[in-house]
Structure 1
Amino acid sequence: MCQMPYEQNLGNLGAKVKAETTGVLAEMYGILELSTHTVFNLQHESKSQLNHKALLLLNVAHAQCKVFHVEQALVTCIAHEYELMAKLYKYKVGSSKARVH
């Protein structure tokens, strides 16, 4: 069966989100690894300096989490848009067939 352009775009979008999700998880693991090395390597720093760095790392992780959730919401909205466009095209086809007969 022939796929409509919106169906192809939806498939591409799903693959893109999957790749971005993998990238986000890799970044999160990178931050965790970096923070672990930072704590071990920076034992000479004051507690307030370490707390400040840890807070910055948590803020970055939180921001990345927010971006991920917004991207998921965007994918949902785009999928809904494609579904509505498909319904509109089907309606147009049906009304065109009725006018021909």
Structure 2
Amino acid sequence: MFESQELDCVFLETHMNPKRHLHMVYECVPLPRELGDMAPIYFKKAIMESDEEWAMNKKLVDLSSRDIRQAVPRGLPYFSVDFGLQGGFAHVIENEQKFPHYFGKVSLTVVLL
């Protein structure tokens, strides 16, 4: 559907508070194709600058060759972004109190500006 309109899709997934069994949020955001091509660069930078400086887990997990379930240990909170057929990135959230639940939307705003 989006391809016929010359749009790309960015899929955002935020899974926080897994111990309280709250559900995750999964969003699909259509973007103009030229912005969709630039989105991986902006999200990579935003993820690298997010969360704690000294983290126990890798800041950026490349999802181009594996699934989120293989990349992030079960039970840990995470944020992931997927760029359709070209894969995406994930980030294990170290401190849920400091990590904003709207992180993906803020990063998309930067892409759109």
| Structure showing greater Rg | 1
**Comparing both chains, which one has the higher relative contact order based on Cα–Cα distances under 8 Å and sequence gaps of 6 or more?**
1
- TM-score above 0.5: no
TM-score (norm 2): 0.24
- Please identify which structure carries the higher strand content: 2
- Please identify which structure carries the higher helix content: 1
